[in-house]
Amino acid sequence: MAEPVLALIGINKAFGALKVTDCVSLAVQPGELHALIGPNGAGKTTLVHQISGVLRPDAGQIMFKGRDITELASEKRAQAGLARTFQITSTIPSLSVLENVALGVQARAAHPLALLRNAAEDAALNEPAWAAIAAVGLTERAHVLAGRLSHGEKRALEIAMALTLEPSVILLDEPLAGVGREEGERLIALLNSLKGRYAMLLVEHDMEAVFALADTVSVLVYGRVIASGDPASVRADPAVREAYLGEEG
Partner 1 sequence: MTVEASTQAAPPRPAAPARHRPVFVIALFLALAAVPLAVTLGLPAHWLTLVTRAMIFAIAALSLDLILGVGGLVSFGHAAFIGIGAYATGIMITEGQTEALIILPVLLAACAVFAAVTGAVSLRTRGVAFIMITLAFGQMAYFLAQALSAYGGDDGLTLYEQSTLAGFEPFANRTTFFYVVLAVLAFCHVLVRALVASRFGRVLRAARENATRVTMTGFDVGRVRLVAYVISGMIAGLSGFLLANQTEFVSPAFISWQRSGELIFMVVLGGVGSLHGAILGALAFLIAEDVLSGLTEHWKVIFGPMIVLFVLFTRGGLVGLLGRLTGRRDG
For partner 1, the closer CB: 24 or 78: 78
- Confirm or reject binding of residue 120 to partner 1 (CB under 8 A): yes
- Confirm or reject binding of residue 54 to ligand ADP (CB under 6 A): no
Angle, helices 97-108/123-135, rounded to nearest 10 degrees: 120
Of the candidate residues 44, 77, 84, 154, the single one contacting ligand ADP (CB under 6 A): 44
- Confirm or reject binding of residue 79 to partner 1 (CB under 8 A): yes
CB 51 within 8 A of CB 6: yes
Q: How far is the CB of 222 from ligand ADP (least distance, A)?
A: 9
Q: What are the residues whose beta carbons fall under 8 Å from the beta carbon of 101, sequence distance 6 or more?
A: 129, 132, 133, 157, 160, 161, 164
| Closest listed residue to residue 159, CA positions, set 170, 151, 168 | 170
Chosen from Mg ion, ligand ADP, partner 1, none, partner binding at 34 (C-beta under 5 to 8 Å by type): none
Instruction: Classify the C-alpha dihedral 96-74-128-179 as positive or negative.
Output: negative
Chosen from ligand ADP, Mg ion, partner 1, none, partner binding at 43 (C-beta under 5 to 8 Å by type): ligand ADP
Ranges within 81-100 binding partner 1 (CB under 8 A): 83-84, 86, 90-95, 99
* Alpha-carbon span 137 to 116, nearest angstrom: 32
The residues pairing with 59 across neighbouring beta strands, listed in sequence order, are 12
Q: What are the residues whose beta carbons fall under 8 Å from the beta carbon of 15, sequence distance 6 or more?
A: none
Of the candidate residues 21, 45, 106, 218, the single one contacting Mg ion (CB under 5 A): 45
Backbone φ and ψ for 125, nearest 5 degrees, come out as -95, -40
- Confirm or reject binding of residue 122 to partner 1 (CB under 8 A): yes
Q: Note the residues at the interface with partner 1 (CB under 8 A).
A: 52, 54, 73-76, 78-79, 83-84, 86, 90-95, 99, 102-104, 106-109, 111-120, 122, 125, 130, 134-137, 139-140, 142-143, 161, 165, 188-190, 192-194, 212
Residues that bind ligand ADP (CB under 6 A): 15, 18, 20, 38, 40-46
